[in-house]
Structure 1
């Protein structure tokens, strides 16, 4: 066997392994979303993936390891999402536009990955996921505070923290309702969520928005 062939074979095995891991994680996402983390089993995940339990154990020792790997990947993607959704905005941007853009990005992510909500908010999730989610939550709050400061540059820090917590609480409540429906009814709940956030934030930033609108060319 030539040196080139010897180098190619490990790469091929690695590629097959990565595809198998992706297959198992996709199956786990389906099972966790359908049954919840607690009721899920490695046998159910293997069955959903179309492989034997022995094949699954070649890559993951247990259900917790699968959930942690899946959670790590989802949280990395979520960080990219909120980085885009909660980037600083021009203070002249209408509140409806800023809120709508942020909500749309987060809703799209959760609709595309329903397992994220199932893993992050369900009971008995692995401790490492809880820790990672707590860190994500803290960073998300900080980004919301940064976005709010675009509209309220003179607000005391305590007010920004309180308002950011209220916004995140409203969003989580609306998200759960939206994910519980489909089609037009889901869209209606998403719009209600936007309305609730706008009506909450409107009185806080209304005067500033009014000044910005009058100075716009």
Structure 2
């Protein structure tokens, strides 16, 4: 009886391993050539299988990208929960920023295809939709984190700061991923420094707008 129950599980595990192989190969090809220049033949060659075997799992390159992107975004969402939980206002800003940045940098360094696929100029349509939804969710999580440090700030100001901070992080991430070793570590530190310098006067003042300026509604 136990043997009969275990057989479907073993088949499922084997199937998962067979799917994981071309996905890992696709990640390597997408990082090397970009999505547009990649081909199913190149992915099959990287996976060490025939194109026919690849087509048993995925009908085309877009289907591979969608499956790979979906898995990465699911994993990234779990990272959000750990990195962007509402903070303790007593936590130093530098520590809060450093902890969040370290988690996201670690994820992107472990999965460089995430940046290559999600931020490339030729991102597939369905992946773009998933990424837009993920971006919106990330802005919301950053807003929640900021609100714990800026409880009196208007929502429009918090949203604007969250978007600006995310934009700075994304730009810095590209430089981080372009380097390795000690130079990468230096860029990570520069990114943290830039975010802290941006946020510190805002958090310290609750909003931090220069005298004479007012908040503008977020469209």
Settle same-fold status: TM greater than 0.5: yes
1:134 aligns with 2:164: no
Alignment of 1:88-99 (within 5 A): 88-99=86-97
1:31 aligns with 2:6: no
CA distance in 2 between partners of 1:190 and 1:142 (Å): 23
Aligned pairs, how many?
A: 206
Q: Which residue of 2 aligns with 1:109?
A: 107
Q: Which residue of 2 aligns with 1:214?
A: none
Structure 1: which 5+ runs fail to align? 209-217
CA distance in 2 between partners of 1:5 and 1:109 (Å): 38
Change over 3 Å in CA distance of 1:148–1:8 after alignment to 2 = closer
Q: Which residue of 2 aligns with 1:72?
A: 70
Q: CA deviation at 1:64?
A: 0.4
- Of residues 119-128 and 152-161 in structure 1, the stretch that sits farther from structure 2 once superposed is 119-128
1:171 aligns with 2:174: no
CA distance in 2 between partners of 1:161 and 1:53 (Å): 47
Structure 2: which 5+ runs fail to align? 207-219
Change over 3 Å in CA distance of 1:206–1:55 after alignment to 2 = same
CA distance in 2 between partners of 1:51 and 1:190 (Å): 38
Change over 3 Å in CA distance of 1:4–1:194 after alignment to 2 = closer
CA distance in 2 between partners of 1:23 and 1:135 (Å): 27
CA distance in 2 between partners of 1:30 and 1:146 (Å): 35
1:192 aligns with 2:190: yes
Q: Which residue of 2 aligns with 1:144?
A: 142
Name the SS of the counterpart of 2:152 in structure 1: coil
Q: In the TM superposition, what whole-angstrom CA distance separates every residue of 1:78-101 from its partner, at most 9, and x where no partner exists?
A: 000011100011101000000000
Q: Which residue of 2 aligns with 1:41?
A: 39
CA distance in 2 between partners of 1:12 and 1:93 (Å): 47
More helix by share: 1
Q: Give yes or no for contact 1:100–1:194 (8 Å, CA) kept in 2.
A: yes
Change over 3 Å in CA distance of 1:124–1:207 after alignment to 2 = closer
Change over 3 Å in CA distance of 1:5–1:155 after alignment to 2 = closer
Please, what is the CA RMSD of the aligned residues?
Answer: 1.5
> What TM-score do the two structures reach when normalised by structure 2?
0.90
Q: Which residue of 2 aligns with 1:58?
A: 56
Alignment of 1:155-166 (within 5 A): 155-166=153-164
Q: Give yes or no for contact 1:38–1:123 (8 Å, CA) kept in 2.
A: no
